[in-house]
Homo-oligomer: A and B are copies of this chain.
Amino acid sequence: MALRHAVLAALLDGEYSGYQLTKIFDVGVANFWYAAPQQLYAELAKLEADGLVAGREVVQHGRPNKRVFTVTEAGIAELAAFAATPAKPLLIREDLAVKVHAVDVLDPEPVIAQLLERAEQAAAKLALFEKILLRLRGDLDEETFLREGERIGPYLSCLAGCRLERQMREWCLQTARTLGRRTAPTGAPTGRTSP
């Protein structure tokens, strides 16, 4: 049971409703945990029942009311216990890499198309993360902020997201180029050995 810790960590950034959390978690690399909306509503209910978060009704005009949640002291204690526990290894599951692994016996065209699409998504996420970094560090430069800032956890985990997306983008582009060169020596003669 580790989704609960990801939810608790996310709620340290502020009061959020279930719906707001779904937005944060379906960016996926929010805090390196993906979760479906239904999981979040269920988990929040459990966390509240266990006294790890406290809900508060927020009345809104013009849109449905919502319940926002805060981490309780018991919730902080739960996080502390979690942090002191040995970390589980990274869990990663990536369709696209499986397809690339098998590409030699397959039609490479759809794989190349997916690599290019993924590269664009990675670039978009990277841009988003860099905006978040800017917002978090305010008017300080990164080094000063990391030395003296009050709350650097979200910044540090966002830095990991940047690294990941940057590598993802580069790998996708490099791989697409490599595959493209092998399949389509189309257009002007290139002086390479003909088939």
Contact = CB atoms under 8 A, between A and B. Distances in A.
Nearest to A7: B98
A42 interface: no
A66 interface: no
The interface residues of chain A, by DSSP majority, are classed as helix
Nearest to A11: B102
How many subunits of this chain does the assembly comprise?
A: 2
Given A28-B89, A90-B92, A5 B98 contact: yes
A153 B102 contact: yes
Contact of A83 (B86, B106, B150): B106
A104 B178 contact: no
Interface of A: 2, 5-6, 8-10, 12, 28-29, 31-34, 76, 79-80, 82-84, 86-107, 110-111, 114, 118, 121, 146-147, 150-154, 156-157, 159-160, 163-164, 167-168, 170-171, 174-175, 178-179, 181-182
